[in-house]
Structure 1
Amino acid sequence: ILNDKHAIGASKRGLSMIYASRGENEKQREYLEFAMNIFKEVDDKNLLAICHHDFGLFHTANGDYDKSINYFKRSIELRHQVGKTIDVSIMAMAYPYYIKGEVDKSLNYLEEALKLFEDRKVKMRISTTCIYLAEIYLSKCDYNNALKYSERAVKITSEIGGSPLAQIMIYIYYFISQKYLDIDYNKAKLHEIIENNYIYSKNNKISLYDDDFILPYRLYELLEDTSYLETAYNQIQELADNL
């Protein structure tokens, strides 16, 4: 019976992820809540921690940043109790703090996550964390550190590869940092990456910028094309409408 309940919980969580990919928020929440209740019943703290992390991502995507932080914190508490790694939830929690304007707190969490990822030698996560750090340093007008972290992400991606969306995120920060430091950046490379991301998003029927307003805003900043600024504004407006 215990194993059956675990299987049911896992299937419900799997369904929540499918609905998340389709943008069906209410269905995503419903199935994730179902899974979480099952894992509470069987007292599986590891899987319960994973569900709390998922809910943190859910509320982040929907602009409810206080709730997302609470879920990430609970996920971290549960992971501590069962001796599991906490780095992914720490990294994820940095984003809502950043959007809330608590930049230094976000920076501290990212530095902690980066150290944990480095200890485990998880290159993909190191690269992602470096990009988040580049965003924070860019917001602080610390272009040298923004370049330092984005350049590290570029080097890692050249080793392990990455999706077109990952490529555009990494290179935008790399090129913006160069722009503000009066270093010529590779404009042909940028336009190639933008085109590849457009084709990839269209073929896979996914959001061009992963529903993130920061990415099109940084593209506007880099290229000074107001169409990107309009996209960023629309993303923010959609978040506000859903609150």
Structure 2
Amino acid sequence: MKFIGVLLLVFGAFGLTSAQVLPSVEVVLKEAELYRNSDVEKSFSLAGKALSDACRQDHEPSMAKAYRFNGVLNFMTGDLETASKQFDSAYLLYTKLGDKTGIAASLNNIGVLYQEKSDYPKALDYFKRSIDMKLALGDTVGSTSGLINIGTMYSYMGENSRALAAFDRVYTIAKQHADTSKCIDALINMSTVKLNERNYDPAMDDLKSALRLSELINDQYSRAYCLNNIGGIYQNTYQNALALDYFNQALALRDDLRDLAGLATTLNNLGNIYIRYNDFDRALNSFFQALKYNQILGDKRSTAISLNSIGELLIKKGDFKEASAYFYQGITIAQQLRLRQELRKMYSNQMITYAAMQKIDSSEKYLSLYNTTLDSTWKNIEDEDFLWNNSNAEKKSKYNNIYLWVAPVAMVFVLLLLLLIFLGKTRIP
């Protein structure tokens, strides 16, 4: 099962800073923070006012904080280019001021941007630098933002036990300090890992707890996330009507919030539900909207997933040539990012597509590529690329065992397809 959406990212917009911020700017930014998750337009207006006031008075500590907060808002609404410039401006100002707390917070923000762009090695580097600096300053609570983002990296790459350990540590710290917002973040992320492991009941418990807390503090972004993922559980347990209801609730809320990443996620989920109702036109429309938003955001991983979804639907409609083109685009992106799970799925889809078009050599090529994603050597290379040294004999044995039975099954499947083609039966079940 793929992740339902992008995991919630934490910025910690109002961590402690050693540099004194102008009282007039601080008051406006605190008011902007109150509206950040409920009325983003008002939050933008207040944050812009705070930045203008800080720049007019040429007060660098105030400018740095205002730049960083504006960067958070632009990230939330999908303007990654503007967010990047504002985070960089904040980082340079904090460095000039020697404000280590501000530097640590900015490093985390920049790491989030690299994560959103699917540049995981750089993201991990920035997160670790941020955490190390915060811990050196004695800011255990502040380190939780980086821990959440590191947990997200591990979950993306299939290191679920390490991800859960990071999220559980965040939840423990947040609960001890009565930090409701961080408790929500930790619960949502823990539920996502459990969803990936098909542990639906504990995932639902986490999501319902997070939903109650988000309603308590009027956090509409987290509320939309919970609604989407509850819909995901109903989707995966084939309770389609309930899934459709929760996805539509999430879609409406995310549209109000101008949450482009959230919209893309929910639209992709809706497309899959429409397929179950054999409403292929609405499904295709949902997938194309999701693709558009992912491309606007520059989210390569989600773009690859959307391209694969479109290709799979085109197979169902019998348009194999067009499906192959979308799979090719998705595979190109997934190869660049070394997304093994997505590559495995798209290689399999491309193999079937070429077999249906009677392009036997091409079908065999993608069978070979499919088999490489099951080989333990892929796991070793991936660990090296991402600076993980946690590979062990048990995991290698597990991947070798999978390879031993999946590869022959896949080969038999292709041979059957070729036999059908030889007999003149080109319809693919």
Q: Which runs of structure 2 are paired with 1:122-201 in the superposition (5 Å)?
A: 122-163=179-220, 165-178=221-234, 186=242, 190=246, 193-194=249-250, 196-197=252-253, 199-201=255-257
- Give the secondary-structure state (helix, strand or coil) at the position aligned to 2:262: coil
Change (3 A) 1:223 1:154: farther
- Map of 1:207 onto structure 2: 260
Give yes or no for contact 1:167–1:193 (8 Å, CA) kept in 2.
no
Change (3 A) 1:74 1:178: same
- Give the secondary-structure state (helix, strand or coil) at the position aligned to 2:158: coil
Change (3 A) 1:220 1:109: farther
Give yes or no for contact 1:13–1:31 (8 Å, CA) kept in 2.
yes
- Map of 1:237 onto structure 2: 303
RMSD: 3.5
Amino acid at match of 1:172: N
Equivalent of 1:77 in 114, 132, 157: 132
Q: Could you state the TM-score of these two structures normalised by the residue count of structure 2?
A: 0.47
- Map of 2:87 onto structure 1: 32
Give yes or no for contact 1:172–1:222 (8 Å, CA) kept in 2.
no
Take 2:191 and 2:74, find their aligned partners in 1: how far apart are those partners? 31
Q: 1:37-70 deviations in whole A, cap 9, x for unaligned?
A: 2322322110011100110111112111111111
Take 1:116 and 1:222, find their aligned partners in 2: how far apart are those partners? 38
Take 2:92 and 2:254, find their aligned partners in 1: how far apart are those partners? 39
Deviation at 1:149, TM superposition (A): 1.1
Q: Could you state the TM-score of these two structures normalised by the residue count of structure 1?
A: 0.77
Take 1:153 and 1:114, find their aligned partners in 2: how far apart are those partners? 11
Take 1:17 and 1:208, find their aligned partners in 2: how far apart are those partners? 14
Structure 1 residue 111 corresponds to structure 2 residue 168: yes
Equivalent of 2:114 in 30, 43, 59: 59
Take 2:260 and 2:256, find their aligned partners in 1: how far apart are those partners? 10
- Map of 2:150 onto structure 1: 93
Take 1:19 and 1:152, find their aligned partners in 2: how far apart are those partners? 28
Amino acid at match of 1:46: T
- Give the secondary-structure state (helix, strand or coil) at the position aligned to 1:209: helix
Deviation at 1:104, TM superposition (A): 2.3
Larger Rg: 2
Equivalent of 1:47 in 91, 102, 124: 102
Give yes or no for contact 2:230–2:243 (8 Å, CA) kept in 1.
no
Change (3 A) 1:32 1:119: same
Equivalent of 1:68 in 114, 120, 123: 123
Q: 1:127-185 deviations in whole A, cap 9, x for unaligned?
A: 2321211111111111122122112223323433331x433321233344356568898
Which consecutive residues of structure 1, in runs of 5 or more, have no partner in the other structure? Answer: none
Which consecutive residues of structure 2, in runs of 5 or more, have no partner in the other structure? Answer: 1-18, 21-58, 277-282, 295-301, 306-332, 338-429
Alignment length, in residue pairs?
236
Give yes or no for contact 1:117–1:126 (8 Å, CA) kept in 2.
yes
Take 2:215 and 2:64, find their aligned partners in 1: how far apart are those partners? 38
- Give the secondary-structure state (helix, strand or coil) at the position aligned to 2:102: helix
More displaced, 176-185 or 133-142? 176-185
Amino acid at match of 1:57: V
- Give the secondary-structure state (helix, strand or coil) at the position aligned to 2:260: coil
Deviation at 1:125, TM superposition (A): 2.3
Change (3 A) 1:94 1:191: closer
Amino acid at match of 1:167: R
Deviation at 1:238, TM superposition (A): 7.2
Take 2:254 and 2:95, find their aligned partners in 1: how far apart are those partners? 42
- Give the secondary-structure state (helix, strand or coil) at the position aligned to 1:121: coil
Take 1:180 and 1:151, find their aligned partners in 2: how far apart are those partners? 17
Change (3 A) 1:73 1:158: same
Give yes or no for contact 1:153–1:170 (8 Å, CA) kept in 2.
yes
More displaced, 152-161 or 181-190? 181-190
More displaced, 123-132 or 135-144? 123-132
Give yes or no for contact 2:228–2:250 (8 Å, CA) kept in 1.
no
Take 1:132 and 1:222, find their aligned partners in 2: how far apart are those partners? 23
